[in-house]
Amino acid sequence: MLNALKIGEVEVALATDNTNMIELIAVCKKCGLSKSKIVDKKKRLLITREMMSNPCEKCRSVEYEVVEKDIIDVLDDLASQTNARVEVISAESEEKKLNALPGFAALLRLDLKLNAKNKNLSGRLS
C-alpha cells in the first residue's frame, strides 16, 4: 500500500489504531545518507542492530543515528504529498473489517484515462 500511496493511486488509506508498525530511519552521521525500513515494533531492536551493522553505502561508515516514526505519521506524510487522506479506525470499534488484514487497507483512485481507454476498447470488441 505504501508504494501505491507514494505514486498517487490511493484516495483513502485506512489503518487500525493498533498496527504496531513503525518506520526505522538510520541516518549516517558522517555523510547524512539515510535508509529506512517498516518493521513490527517487536522486531525494532533486531532490525536496528542489523541496519547499524551494515556500512553506509556512500561513505562506508557504521555510525548512525536511528529515528523511529509511527506508521500513521508515515502514512500522513505520504498522503499529504498526493492529496490522499488517512483514516484511522479503532480496533475496538464495531467496524472490525480490517482485523483480517495486517491493519492496513486502501481505497484506490479511479484512473479516468484508463477507464475511458477500456470503454473505447470494449466498444470496439462488441
pLDDT for 54-110, tens place per residue?
Answer: 999 999 999 999 999 999 999 999 999 999 999 998 777 655 555 555 677 788 887
Q: Which of 3-7, 11-15, 46-50 has the highest mean pLDDT?
A: 46-50
> In this predicted structure, what is the pLDDT of residue 125?
45
- Domain positions in the chain: 2-125
Burial bucket for residue 114 (CB in 10 Å: 0-12, 13-18, 19+): exposed
In whole angstroms, what is the distance from residue 57 CA to residue 61 CA? 8
Domain 2-125 in this protein, CATH class = alpha beta
